[in-house]
Structure 1
Amino acid sequence: MGYKVVVAGATGNVGREMLNILDERQFPVDEIAVLASRRSQGTEVSFGDKTLKIKDIEQFDWTGWDIALFAIGSDATKIHAPKAAAAGCVVIDNSSLYRYDPDIPLIVPEVNPDAIHGYAKKNIIANPNCSTAQMVVALKPLHDRARIKRVVVSTYQSVSGAGKDGMDELWDQTKGMYVPGQEKPAKKFQKQIAFNVIPQIDVFMEDGSTKEEWKMVVETKKIVDPAIKVSATCVRVPVFVGHSESINIEFEDFLDEDEARDILREAPGIMVVDKREPGGYTTPVECVGEYATYISRIRQDGTVENGLNLWCVSDNLRKGAALNAVQIAELLGNKVLKKG
């Protein structure tokens, strides 16, 4: 016996990826509904070897559905998630709307699976920010061994994190560089993204950080440990898919780089590719379509007493969004609902 599953926002990048991953991982689906706004009603999307037609989310009856994966942004989620939850459908939300609500669990299954039981307070579970998700997968096993005091992270985030419009803008601007008269001004991003990097993701806050950077700080504390200090600089780069992060970690206790490498090799959700030779590391191009979070460049940081540096890469549409949401659904099914 399986589940009645809804994917809301099924026409977007993340929604389509949710459908792909549900099929790839053979999630026990008895019935599936795909939703989007009214303008997309009737649009067809693929689920395995099936073709599904989009239904209007405004008219959808949530009664009798078990799990809903939401990828529709905060504004629409604010309207529809409470309706689904009130009807008994557990919402797994990819937006930022509920991440900081103390009554709603924020979950990365490899890191804090036991938080799943908190779903019952509001029938909603939050999916973390894409840049946070891959980082905490790397931090947790090291934290368990040596207690992390402080993290300094610089991100190199792909344009797919800004949705289809971001990917289109990079493509159009890149083509425009080579075709006279086809230059495309910045629209989705604050400045030209082609052949450039932009040290701003989301809006600026009063202290000079951006909201993306603030999210990494707050979410890491909620998911891993509130005692960890985090300093983040988030940068948009001209890569279509795949987020990269340079992470500097300061521990309470000494942790040798070789031991750290062994710990990470054994940790769930991680693939270590770390050879000290040209090309002996993973880049975003190589992680696209993969489930794992890739760790490379593990090395001691001699500038602090107990420090390590590492390089972390993951497919942001998968581990940073759709995969993590499906993993939460699997966790919910295995630990709580137990139908599949």
Structure 2
Amino acid sequence: MGYRVAVVGATGNVGREMLAVLAEREFPCDEVAAVASARSTGTEVEFGDTGKMLKCRNIEHFDWAGWDIALFSAGSGPAKEYAPKAAAAGCVVIDNSSFYRMDPDVPLIVPEVNPDAIEEYAKKNIIANPNCSTAQMVVALKPLHDAAGIKRVVVSTYQSTSGAGKAGMDELFAQSRAIFVGDQVESHKFTKQIAFNVIPHIDSFLDDGSTKEEWKMVVETKKILDPKIKVTATCVRVPVFVGHSESINIEFERELSAEAAMDILREAPGVMLIDKREDGGYVTPVECVGDGATFVSRVREDPTVENGLNIWCVSDNLRKGAALNAVQIAELLGRRCLKKG
């Protein structure tokens, strides 16, 4: 017997990817519902490569009774309004927005990192999916933290336009085309030109000069991995369609050589180590698209600090950073808690 699963925000980039991942991983579904806003009601979306088309249902009138799991990817507004309604009806919500991530009664889960936290889902019947840039980083950090104890992390991100949704990808395409044909470049989604440029600004600014995206990486890493770890982040939007990259500097409590770190990462769940130390012997966003792994390259010791390493980390932000992680949470929930399928 399988589950009845609703995908909320089914017409968006992540929602479509959630449907694709559910089908690809053969998640035990007896029924799948595509749920979206009123303006998308009746729009057809494909259930992965199954050939099956789903008509979107209006979230405003959706009856949550009898549904087991809802994968939400519709933003903080719908999550705030509809997730509690779904949860109250007995449907476990796995939410991709930032709204519930720092709620002390809502577990923030990356299955390879903190699977035991899933037991806390019953407090509100809601589970939070972390920020895409945080998710890939903690997958890479977890095995290293277990081995040598991480004290401090300095991370600079190179985040693709898909992290800003379809509008971000469309703006990169439109601006690139405009530059090539000599048309005027217009910026609507981003604060500055994104084509052939980089923007050190993701999300809103906070009083201390950091952005909310940078704050998310700090507090989410502490909640998921270890509250004692010090984290500082600089988050940058780059002219890439899909795939986030991160340059991560790590200080450890105990000595950990680059060679030992690579041995650990080769065996770590969710990690793919590709570090040939030659031309092209590393992973870039182009190679990670469509893959669920968190790729690690350029592992090397940092001689400027005691017990320091540098690593390069790349992942498909629509997959591990969002859709895949949500489905992995659903799989973990089924194995440990619901035990229905």
Tell me, yes or no, whether TM beats 0.5: yes
Please give the per-residue CA displacement for 1:31-65, whole angstroms capped at 9, x wherever unaligned: 11110011111100001221110000000000000
The match for 1:138 among 113, 137, 140 is 140
> Sequence identity of aligned pairs in percent?
76
1:113 counterpart = 2:110: no
Give the residue type in structure 2 aligned to 1:116. I
In 2, distance between residues paired with 1:118 and 1:250? 31
Please give the per-residue CA displacement for 1:149-168, whole angstroms capped at 9, x wherever unaligned: 00000000000000000000
**DSSP 3-state at the match of 2:226:** coil
Partner residue, 1:93: 95
The match for 2:167 among 165, 185, 207 is 165
Partner residue, 2:296: 295
The match for 1:153 among 152, 155, 165 is 155
Partner residue, 2:36: 36
Please give the per-residue CA displacement for 1:256-307, whole angstroms capped at 9, x wherever unaligned: 1111001011000000000110000000000000010000000000000100
Partner residue, 1:207: 208
Partner residue, 1:251: 252
TM-superposed deviation, 1:221: 0.1
Partner residue, 2:3: 3
Partner residue, 1:235: 236
Give the residue type in structure 2 aligned to 1:313. V
Partner residue, 1:278: 279
**DSSP 3-state at the match of 1:30:** strand
Partner residue, 1:102: 104
In 2, distance between residues paired with 1:74 and 1:313? 26
Give the residue type in structure 1 aligned to 2:154. V
Give the residue type in structure 2 aligned to 1:332. L
1:320 counterpart = 2:289: no
Give the residue type in structure 1 aligned to 2:128. A
In 2, distance between residues paired with 1:183 and 1:202? 26
In 2, distance between residues paired with 1:168 and 1:154? 25
What CA RMSD, in Å, does the superposition of the two structures yield over aligned residues?
0.5
**DSSP 3-state at the match of 2:71:** strand
In 1, distance between residues paired with 2:205 and 2:39? 32
Partner residue, 2:51: 49
Matches within 5 A, 1:258-273: 258-273=259-274
**DSSP 3-state at the match of 1:52:** strand
Unaligned runs of 5+ in 1: none
Partner residue, 2:217: 216
TM-superposed deviation, 1:186: 1.1
TM-score, scaled to structure 1: 0.99
**DSSP 3-state at the match of 1:177:** helix
**DSSP 3-state at the match of 1:64:** coil
TM-superposed deviation, 1:178: 1.4
TM-superposed deviation, 1:183: 2.2
**DSSP 3-state at the match of 2:180:** coil
In 2, distance between residues paired with 1:43 and 1:262? 48
In 1, distance between residues paired with 2:129 and 2:306? 34
Please give the per-residue CA displacement for 1:89-116, whole angstroms capped at 9, x wherever unaligned: 0000000000000000000000000000
In 1, distance between residues paired with 2:187 and 2:234? 22
Aligned residues: 339
TM-superposed deviation, 1:185: 1.3
In 1, distance between residues paired with 2:277 and 2:130? 32
TM-score, scaled to structure 2: 0.99
In 1, distance between residues paired with 2:250 and 2:326? 27
Q: Would you identify which runs of 4 or more consecutive aligned residues in structure 1 move more than 2 Å?
A: none
In 2, distance between residues paired with 1:66 and 1:77? 17
Give the residue type in structure 2 aligned to 1:223. I
TM-superposed deviation, 1:315: 0.0
In 2, distance between residues paired with 1:212 and 1:231? 11
